[in-house]
Structure 1
Amino acid sequence: MNSLAARAFLLRATEPPAPAVDAFVAAHGPVDAVERIQTQAAPQSVLHEIRDPEPQIDEDLAAIDSGRYRLLTPEDPDWPHGALQGLTEQGLGAPLGLWVRGTANLVTSTRAAVSVVGARAATSYGEHVATTLGTDLAAADVTVVASGAYGVDGAAHRGALLGSAPPIAVLACGADIAYPQGHAWLLESVAHSGLLISEYPLGTKPARARFAARGRLLAALGVATVVVEAARRSGALPIAHTAAILGRHVYGVPGPITSATSAGVIDLLRTGVATPIAAADHIISQEGIR
């Protein structure tokens, strides 16, 4: 078994995040780690994170050979070590590999990248702001990282597709699954010009826990995260807090104090987690990425 096959095995065997497996692979390398896992010679903390001890990876390897998908691993030159290393350091579990659709280079794309997150049930104001931010960031050669979901994230991607920087969509399902289905055309457009990435093997269906796990990748891949709209229970808020833990700047777009979709952003601003911004230039200037 080579390192690529070992990584494919590990992605099938675990349910992200798997911080103990991540640390074990970092210490022993993927091939040795798999051998120890298969012979039950790994620590119990590692074995506890193994959900399928005998995953089948023949179809995964065939998909790679077909050229339609890539399995990007830490052994590859275009693995974004700088962006993802903090996940290991903070015990959050870096991805064991990333399934990729698209031809853009992930290292190059994430050198100047901003994650745009927010409410799925966004208001027309939120969608307008997200689209404008996406357009203006991409026009300044800043990569927009988002989830491709309805609402703020999808609006940011639609705006980014009008610019010159290839966008990135981080998925909570296999890279071969269009989710949400209503954004199949949008995800196809992102794949054509930028990248679809996922730590979930091909064919993996979306699930609640996978949306939450994906959030740490959205927080890590941007040099900064901006929250456009978020209610107090929005999934965008844990992403913002994770970004702060990773040492990234967090920005919030002010909204009407009477709007429920502004409440979470206001809390981020009030507690000092986020800095208020009103335009892409505010982020670009603060981050020094122009």
Structure 2
Amino acid sequence: MTAEERERLARAALTHVVEPGDEHAGRALRRHGAAGFLRLLREDGGPLADPFQGTGERRVDGWRRRARTAAPDRDLDLVARLGGRFLVPGDPEWPRQLDDLEDARPLGLWVRGPADLRGWALRSVAVVGARACTPYGAHTAATLAAGLAERGWVVVSGAAFGVDGAAHRGALGSDGATVAVLACGVDVPYPRGHARLIRRIAEQGLVLGELPPGAHPTRSRFVLRNRVIAALTRGTVVVEAEYRSGSLVTARAAARLGRHVMGIPGPVTSGLSAGVHELLRGEATLVTDADEVEELVGAIGRLAPARRGPVLPRDLLAPDTARVLEALPGRSPAALAEIAARAGTHPDHTLAKLYELHSLGFVERRQDDWQLTNRRTEASNARHGGT
């Protein structure tokens, strides 16, 4: 077995030994290498008096107990039978932006799915939010994910109920790319109600996690999983989140890593939007659709279209013509001299503009006086974008 193969096998074993994001383990790994770290754990001591300096005895004892039961060959065989693989730093498919996590970097990633993770991660956006989301949140997440997928972006989320599931379905529904980052083994469908969705993601996209096959989720593993979502992507969009929400953990991890943080606003009366609004008061940028997300995370020059209200016929009038129109009273007819005085223009010029406005349907003549068109005409103009 080559040194590279020993390191890969040791990293696979260590995913069974240490919890995701354990910086103590990260320091030991950096100091001893994966094979050396695992050997020290299995030797119950070693040539170094204190090989895990700065790490508490209880933590090290836990590592040692789990190291004795780790079976990396079995785990690697199982993931291979599922059509998956185990990625480690240095592999061509390893997403190097995960290295920004430093000592909290994953030991490796268990992956199912046909796509190249590194290539997908370079053009990915996280869409996260509340599990108990409102219909507004589910619709917004699905629409946003579909828009991102149609623009060639990979949608990353956590496969949970609510916003996560809506985001995955929105991307899949547009025949787009999506990645589910799990807080358990990639062979464990969690939540169970999303077993079919996770299976579909594994067939059309990617399912990945730090924990070995068979590992089950815990509350702390969900929180630690979020740092991977944040580091893997170019930006994180939060759609509905309460003040205490795992989605905010993801967003703040993204901010610490220098990634873009975005939020979708919601009703100020909704507690499920309170956390998002708090982000928007600080580190997040307000976005409302895929164009605005792409403007932030995409290449230079990918600007969202300018937003403005509808162009009304009145907006197309020349300034002096519009001034004459504004000089007419709202309800009653007015004489030419009165209109000219109110518009501040010569009567002859005013008369020419009134005839122009008449031809456009804005005014009508009543003997020698002028007035705005009647209410029926105004209502018709309004329906067609007029005044």
TM norm structure 1: 0.93
Compute the displacement of 1:65 (Å).
4.7
| AA in 1 matched with 2:146 | T
**Cα offset for 1:67?**
5.6
Render the CA deviation track for 1:218-260: whole Å, top value 9, x for unaligned. 1111100000100111111111111100111100000000001
Q: Tell me, what secondary structure is at the counterpart of 2:67?
A: coil
2:298 matched to 1:284? no
- Tell me the CA shift for residue 54 of structure 1: 1.2
Shift of 1:68: 2.5
Aligned to 1:85: 99
Residue 43 in structure 1 maps to residue 47 in structure 2: no
The answer to whether structure 1 residue 237 and structure 2 residue 248 are counterparts is yes
The runs of at least 4 consecutive aligned structure 1 residues that moved more than 4 Å come to none
Aligned counterparts of 1:198 and 1:158: Cα–Cα separation in 2: 20
Picking from 31, 51, 62, the partner of 2:77 is 62
- Between the two structures, name the one with larger relative contact order (CA 8 Å, sep ≥ 6): 1
- Choose which of 251, 271, 276 in structure 2 pairs with 1:260: 271
Write the deviation string for residues 68-123 of structure 1: whole angstroms up to 9, x where unpaired. 32111113110011x211111xx5x1110111111211100100100111000000
CA distance in 1 between partners of 2:114 and 2:22 (Å): 27
Deviation of 1:38 after TM superposition, in Å, equals 2.8
Deviation of residue 193 (structure 1)?
0.9
Question: What is aligned with 2:7?
Answer: 3
- Asked whether the 8 Å contact 1:148–1:157 carries over to 2, the reply is yes
Report if aligned partners of 1:175, 1:196 keep a CA contact under 8 Å in 2: yes
**Does the 8 Å CA contact 1:160/1:167 hold for their aligned counterparts?**
yes
Number of corresponding residues? 285
RMSD: 1.7
Corresponding residue for 2:87? 72
Deviation per residue, 1:119-146 (Å, 9 max, x gap): 0000000000000111011111111000
Q: Tell which deviates more after alignment, 120-129 or 30-39.
A: 30-39
Any conservation in 2 of the 1:231–1:260 contact (CA below 8 Å)?
yes
- For 1:167, the equivalent position in structure 2 comes to 178
Tell me if structure 1 keeps the 8 A contact 2:185–2:211. yes
Cα distance, 1:15–1:236 mapped onto 2, change above 3 Å: same
CA shift for structure 1 position 62: 2.2
Equivalent residue letter for 1:55: T
* Residues 30-69 of structure 1: per-residue CA shift (max 9 Å, x gap): 2223223333342144573553131331421322453632
Match of 1:211 among 211, 222, 239: 222
Going from structure 1 to structure 2, the CA distance change for 1:103 and 1:162 (only over 3 Å counts) comes to same
Deviates more, 1:109-118 or 1:58-67: 58-67
SS in 1 for 2:94: coil
Which position in structure 2 is the counterpart of 1:134?
145
Over 3 Å counting, the alpha-carbon distance change for 1:185 and 1:66 in structure 2 is closer
Whether the 8 Å CA contact 1:9–1:55 is kept in 2: the answer is: no
Secondary structure in structure 2 of the residue aligned to 1:12: helix
Q: Output the CA distance in 1 between the equivalents of 2:14 and 2:201.
A: 27
Q: Secondary structure at the match of 1:241?
A: helix
Q: What's the counterpart of residue 20 of structure 1?
A: 24
Q: Distance in 2 between matches of 1:94 and 1:71?
A: 15
Aligned counterpart, 2:235: 224
* Residue 263 (structure 1) shift: 0.3
Residues 1:208 and 1:164: Cα distance change in structure 2 (over 3 Å) = same
- Structure 1: gaps (5+ residues): none
Identity over the aligned pairs, expressed in percent? 45
Aligned pairs for 1:105-116 within 5 A:
105-116=116-127
Please, which of 262, 268, 275 is the counterpart of residue 285 of structure 2?
275
Flag structure 2 segments of 5+ consecutive residues without an equivalent.
Answer: 303-387
Instruction: In structure 2, give the amino acid aligned to 1:56.
Output: A
Secondary structure in 1 matching 2:126:
strand
In structure 1, distance between residues paired with 2:125 and 2:41: 37
Give the Cα–Cα distance (whole angstroms) in 2 for the partners of residues 62 and 277 of structure 1.
Answer: 44
